[in-house]
Amino acid sequence: MELCIDFGGTEIKLALIDGGSMVAAGSIPVLGSAADLAAAATCARGLLAENGRSADAAGIAVPGVVDPTTGRMRHANAKYDFLEGFDLHAWAMAEFGLAAVVENDARAALIGETSTGSAAGERDTVLVTLGTGIGTAAMIDGTPLRGRTGHAGILGGHLTVDIDGPLCPCGNLGCGEALASTRALPDAVTMTEVFTTDTHPALRERFLHVWGAVVTSLVHSYDPTVVVLSGGILRAGDAVRAPIEAHVRRHLWPSMTPPRFVVPPEPELSVARGLSVLARATTTHTATPQEEQ
The predicted pLDDT at position 291 comes to 45
The predicted pLDDT at position 238 comes to 85
Selection from 214, 170, 174, 184 nearest residue 75 by Cα: 170
Question: What domains can be seen in the chain, in order of their start residue?
Answer: 2-108+280-292 (3.30.420.40), 118-263 (3.30.420.40)
Rounded Cα distance, 90 and 240, in Å: 41
Residue type, 118: S
The predicted pLDDT at position 273 comes to 94
Burial class (CB in 10 A: 0-12, 13-18, 19+), 202: exposed
Query: Do 268 and 27 contact (CB within 8 A), yes or no?
Result: no
The predicted pLDDT at position 286 comes to 41
- Taking the model in full, what pTM does it have? 0.93
The predicted pLDDT at position 140 comes to 98
Rounded Cα distance, 15 and 6, in Å: 9
**3-class DSSP state of 101:** strand
The predicted pLDDT at position 284 comes to 64
Residue 184: CB atoms within 10 Å: 20
Tell me the per-residue pLDDT of 192-212, one tens digit each, with 9 for 90 and over.
Answer: 999 989 999 999 999 999 999
* DSSP letter assigned to residue 174: S
Rounded Cα distance, 8 and 131, in Å: 12
Query: Do 136 and 157 contact (CB within 8 A), yes or no?
Result: yes
Tell me the per-residue pLDDT of 88-121, one tens digit each, with 9 for 90 and over.
Answer: 999 999 999 999 999 999 999 999 999 999 999 9
Query: Do 229 and 270 contact (CB within 8 A), yes or no?
Result: no
**Ranges of residues in the chain whose predicted pLDDT is under 70:** 284-293
The predicted pLDDT at position 237 comes to 78
Burial class (CB in 10 A: 0-12, 13-18, 19+), 116: buried
Query: Do 41 and 95 contact (CB within 8 A), yes or no?
Result: yes
3-state helix, strand, coil in the chain (%, to 5): 40, 25, 35
The predicted pLDDT at position 12 comes to 95
Q: H/E element holding 17?
A: strand 11-18
